Chains A and B, each alone.
Chain A
Amino acid sequence: KNQVEQSPQSLIILEGKNCTLQCNYTVSPFSNLRWYKQDTGRGPVSLTIMTFSENTKSNGRYTATLDADTKQSSLHITASQLSDSASYICVVSASGGSYIPTFGRGTSLIVHP
């Protein structure tokens, strides 16, 4: 069964600090991995999309990495801002027939001033 596990479940950091969120998946065969930011009560917003051949992808202060061998991804947030407070969701899609995405539960990030 395809699964996506994220850690930590929640994280509290001070404004200006960096943090790294983790995603482990068992989705196979792998097609792509996406990171989304979801503000409370809002729809997810795409941060990065990576396919098998990509190891890293940046979007401003967000940098995602992918290790397809170990089936792990991370999202690194640099110089956090109060507006980074949100849930960060890892989503993995399989290939070869069904591309239905599997969502992680998300990491809830709170940035304090």
Chain B
Amino acid sequence: EPEVTQTPSHQVTQMGQEVILRCVPISNHLYFYWYRQILGQKVEFLVSFYNNEISEKSEIFDDQFSVERPDGSNFTLKIRSTKLEDSAMYFCASSPNKRGLSSYNEQFFGPGTRLTVL
């Protein structure tokens, strides 16, 4: 059964460093998302991406964050200068049709990347 994959599973970085989290969405899916979950807190939406551009983004997704689909398979989240408060589990998700978050469109989540900023 196809699934969303994410690498690395755990990333440790120093404050101020740039990190790139990688995701391979399910093949033929059209909408891609990034979420984060700080330890012990609820999941928070970061950004949705469709047709090679950002569809929606939350207040969390500031200028420090960027997303890219560099080729036909990968979907990346870059944090330019990490802060301690960026430590969290980051989940990538994809969904099969072009309706995004607006209606019936099941999202398939990856296993997450745990980012630890020291």
**Could you tell me how many residues of chain B have their Cβ less than 8 Å away from some Cβ of chain A?**
22
Contact A46 B106 (CB under 8 A): yes
B45 contacts A32, CB within 8 Å? Answer: no
Which of B44, B101, B112 makes the CB contact (< 8 A) with A43?
B112
Total interface residues in chain A, CB < 8 Å: 22
| B100 interface residue (CB < 8 Å to A) | yes
- Measured in the bound complex, the distance between the Cα atoms of B103 and A106 in whole Å is 22
Interface residue SS majority, chain B: loop
| B109 lies within 8 A of A45 (CB) | yes
CA distance A31 to B105 in the complex (A): 12
CB distance from B75 to the nearest CB of A (A): 14
* B residues 87-118 touching A (CB-CB < 8 Å): 91, 93, 100-104, 106-112
A99 and B31 CA atoms in complex are apart in Å by 13
Chain B contacts for A43, CB-based, 8 A: 4, 91, 93, 109-112
A selection of 6 A-B contacts at a CB cut-off of 8 Å is A31-B102, A43-B111, A51-B104, A103-B44, A105-B41, A105-B42
Q: Chain B interface (Cβ within 8 Å of chain A)?
A: 4, 41-45, 56, 58, 91, 93, 100-104, 106-112
